[in-house]
Amino acid sequence: MRKRLLSAAALLFLALNGWAQEPVTSETEKALKDEAASYIFTESQLDEDADVTQDVIQISSSTNVYTSNVGYLFSPMRFKFRALDQKYNDIYMNGVQVNSAENGRFSYSTIGGMNDATRGIDYASPFESNTFGIAALGGSNNYNFRASNYAAGHKVTLSALNRNYTARAMYTFGTGVKESGWAFFGTVGYRWANMNTAAVEGTFYNSLAYFLSLEKRWGYRHSLNIATWGNPTERAQQGASTDEAYWLANNYLYNPYWGYQDGKKRNSRVVHNYEPSALITWDFNINDDLKLTTSFYGKYAMYSGTRLQYNNSLNPKPDYWKNFPSYNYDVWGESDGSNNDLAAWQESYDYWRAAKANRQIQWDRLYYANQQMNAVGGDAAYYMLARHNDHLAFNLGSTLNWDINRENKLQAGIQLASNTGMHYQTISDMMGATNLHNINNYAVGTYAGSDPRVQYDLNNPNGTVAKGDRFGYDFNIVVQKATAWAQYVREKGISHSFISAKIGGTQMWRDGKMRNGLFADNSYGKSGTARFLDGGAKIGTNLNLGKGHVVGMGVSYMTYAPTAYSNYGGSAFQAAEMNNNFIDGLKVEHMVSAELGYAFVTSFMRANLTAYFNHGTRMNEWQNYYYDDVNSFTYVSMTGVEKNYYGVELGVRFNITSGLTLDLIGSMADAKYTKNTDVSYLLSTQGTVTHDVLYNKGMREASTPLTVGSIGLNYNVSGWYFNLKGNYYDRIYLSYSPSLRYESTLIRSGAVDVDGTLIVPEQTKGHGGFMLDGSIGHQFRINHHPLSVNLMLTNILNNRKLVSGGFEQSRSNYTTDQTTGEKTSIRTYNFQKNPMKYYVQGFNFMLNLNYRF
């Protein structure tokens, strides 16, 4: 009988728990999410070329099931929130906005390795009011870096994983707020992998991180905090390659960036990054209802990325198109086959397959070539360049929060930002060569070697360069921004509403440090100053209809000054590496947005369904690449871009029992160009600009799955936490190549149907699919102190065929007559069948132990 009573009581207890108002999110689950998020946002994107994409947005929400999960859930496939560029995600630190004034983005990697310091984040999704600014289209995050925000005590974390790094150790110490009003917090971390342990062969990771914060409070009214941090990092990168290379290497993580030098592995793409930052915050509680927060942020960022350069010689990339078997034989059957050479195909195939060294960079040969050039007094045939993007940034943010009364609240603030971006190239390794001149070898040929137009710097003609010297380009971009904003929030009855507006001014100029021979009169010294006025308004409301039903809606109209300079997005300058010219037709971007949401909350479930729409006009985009048909590297500006971003998002959490929850998360989105775009490109070989029409209507945002779905089970029992998630990804597009879709290219290549309509190539897709992830965690107690052990398993079924991103090759399948510009012959190699792709890592794990004392 007693047994029965106990069982009944237990059942009742379970049932009551199951019907509790809020699902219990266990400490362990939260820790796992934090860990996953901090890994993803600060590190998992880093293996890509920093010039291509780092588009991830860290978004979360305390109220929306979809938003609170999506940030990290789909990150192994580099899911972009609403397919938006990261510049639409505003990042604040203690109330000051810290997105780069130059490129609009915040680089999450700069706060990597200091996880314990970066956990306190106040998130605002696009139509959520908040206390620090107007929520951005991709959401806004405000990090709280005040020393008093951290718990007192010590914590040691040790991690083992098989990803871009292998081991991590962190130590954290916090004092909490002392009676004296002082608080201190500090953390030190180190992340490591060498070439033998990193998941992608030929990469390594070497990063130290520190974060120190000191706060002093004077009574209730004032407090002053100073925080400083940085993470000197050295890491080697992975490059995208073609399916043929992955097949020949029999490895979905084939990395063309490394090779053997004297028997040792060497990577050609090594990034050095250190961004020492400081943040001073003054919190002033004017009275119980009025608070003023003012923060001043400064950083000096030093970023450089090396690359192997060749000088008029053979391209040293192991996966250069001429090195592939299919260069010799048209395996696609699309050419006339007249140049097919099966024996050469076999010879090349055998060579690729014979030894790993054959499919990697052959450093020894490059050094040999340079010795040959030394013997004839010639310039280096091969050398290493470092592209530097250094920044000196100052940001000031001041925000007033006024709780007028219980129903009405007002926030207002200003944000000032100044950024001096110093962009230059240096010689990072002469690779045994003794001579190199600061000459534009791309222009040699168009102009004779003795022509002044081939000089990179007419102020120092025929200058010789050696290790550490600046080469090719050297310029500063200065951007200054000022924004004022205000937000009024009203909570009355069933409604929670806000209206907000902002207005800002941006000015920018370029300051050239070299006088480029192709632009002798407008490359050295300051350009003109471009000024833009931007701003906008946003309005939103949530209506609590009772019985757990909530409806939310919002609309906004925002304008954005053009991005001043970014290698992976927009640029206000035509070719900042060469001259002072702004892009013709540069305009302030407009974005109209709307969102409609429905939430249903009961004791057994919480559901969110949201539909959104963003329509952008007058947008600017910019790229640079080699354009075959003109035999030249080109700087490409696109103006008047129009895009639609829309979709539906669903998040449901069912509380099945007190410990068991089921999550359904999914999104179906689209993000595409809605009209063809004006394009102009500058030829680096001669400095001339050509205008064309880009047929990009219908092209989609790339390198993110536009369809995602997930089903997940979470189980908490006796201090244990288990989770299993099946994630599905589809509609992954690769970055489209503009040059294949210029009007002139389409006509030249004969992509015209009988009635004269241009046939625009479809955008290449990557392979989607299913991935199973899981995790397990437990909190033990040792000497009365908690020891947490978490194990995260990703891609448990080892599905290696998932494409996380990539890009179409910009080169043509045909050759072009130098003089007439006409198509002359079809190449055996088919660039359009060989897009560059990244595949996901197979099964991988991360084991974390942390101990608090």
Q: Establish if 370 lies at the interface with other proteins (CB under 8 A).
A: yes
Measured between alpha carbons, how far apart are the two ends of the chain, in Å?
45
Percentages (nearest 5) of helix, strand, coil residues in the chain: 15, 50, 35
At closest approach, how far in Å is the CB of 828 from other proteins? Answer: 14
Site for other proteins in 329-358 (CB under 8 A): 344, 347, 351
Cα-only R_g, the chain: 28
**Interacting residue with other proteins among 373, 436, 572, 586 (CB under 8 A):** 373
Give 265 or 481: the residue with its C-beta nearer to other proteins: 265
Please check whether residue 749 is in contact with residue 783, taking contact to mean a CB–CB distance below 8 angstroms: no
Q: In the structure encoding, which two tokens stand for residue 61, read together?
A: 């929400």
- Identity at 190, one-letter amino acid code: Y
Please check whether residue 31 is in contact with residue 39, taking contact to mean a CB–CB distance below 8 angstroms: no
Choose among 260, 432, 255, 265: nearest CA to 363. 260
Give 207 or 420: the residue with its C-beta nearer to other proteins: 207
CA distance 745 to 126: 40
Q: Establish if 312 lies at the interface with other proteins (CB under 8 A).
A: yes
Site for other proteins in 251-290 (CB under 8 A): 261-262, 266-267, 270
Angle 292-295-296 from CA coordinates, rounded to 5°: 150
Give 76 or 230: the residue with its C-beta nearer to other proteins: 230
**Interacting residue with other proteins among 154, 221, 222, 365 (CB under 8 A):** 365
**Interacting residue with other proteins among 21, 250, 450, 718 (CB under 8 A):** 450
Please check whether residue 326 is in contact with residue 344, taking contact to mean a CB–CB distance below 8 angstroms: no
Q: Establish if 448 lies at the interface with other proteins (CB under 8 A).
A: yes
Choose the stretch contacting other proteins; rule: CB under 8 A; options: 13-21, 201-209, 609-617, 785-793: 201-209
At closest approach, how far in Å is the CB of 118 from other proteins? Answer: 18
HEC sequence for 68-129: HHHHHHCHHHCCCHHHCCHHHCEEEECCEECCCCCCCCCCHHHHCCCHHHCCCEEEECCCCC
**Interacting residue with other proteins among 339, 362, 522, 779 (CB under 8 A):** 362
Map tokens 């809020």 to a residue: 22
Q: Establish if 371 lies at the interface with other proteins (CB under 8 A).
A: yes
The binding track of 816-845 with respect to other proteins, each residue x by CB under 8 A or -, is: -xxx--------------------------
User: What number of chain residues touch other proteins (CB under 8 A)?
Assistant: 62
Find the farthest-apart pair of alpha carbons in the chain and give their distance in angstroms, rounded. 104
Which residues, at least 6 apart from 215, have a Cβ–Cβ distance to it below 8 Å? Answer: 146, 147, 148, 177, 182, 183, 184, 223, 224, 225, 226
**Interacting residue with other proteins among 254, 382, 532, 742 (CB under 8 A):** 382
- Identity at 454, one-letter amino acid code: V
Q: Establish if 208 lies at the interface with other proteins (CB under 8 A).
A: yes
The one-character DSSP state at 42 is I
Choose among 640, 663, 661: nearest CA to 652. 663
Residue 352's H or E segment, with its range, is helix 342-354
**Interacting residue with other proteins among 131, 313, 541, 690 (CB under 8 A):** 313
Q: Establish if 363 lies at the interface with other proteins (CB under 8 A).
A: yes
**Interacting residue with other proteins among 199, 236, 416, 601 (CB under 8 A):** 236
Q: Establish if 364 lies at the interface with other proteins (CB under 8 A).
A: yes
Choose the stretch contacting other proteins; rule: CB under 8 A; options: 13-21, 171-179, 468-476, 696-704: 171-179
The binding track of 782-821 with respect to other proteins, each residue x by CB under 8 A or -, is: -----------------------------------xxx--
Which residues, at least 6 apart from 6, have a Cβ–Cβ distance to it below 8 Å? Answer: none
Give 167 or 344: the residue with its C-beta nearer to other proteins: 344
**Interacting residue with other proteins among 34, 190, 543, 761 (CB under 8 A):** 190
Q: In the structure encoding, which two tokens stand for residue 394, read together?
A: 């100052």
**Interacting residue with other proteins among 7, 62, 346, 372 (CB under 8 A):** 372
At closest approach, how far in Å is the CB of 209 from other proteins? Answer: 10
How many residues are recorded in the chain? 853
Q: Establish if 851 lies at the interface with other proteins (CB under 8 A).
A: no
Q: Which residues bind other proteins (CB under 8 A)?
A: 171, 173, 175, 178, 180, 182, 184, 186, 188, 190, 194, 204, 206, 208, 210, 212, 232, 234, 236, 261-262, 266-267, 270, 310, 312-315, 344, 347, 351, 362-365, 367-373, 375-376, 378, 381-382, 429, 431-432, 444-451, 817-819
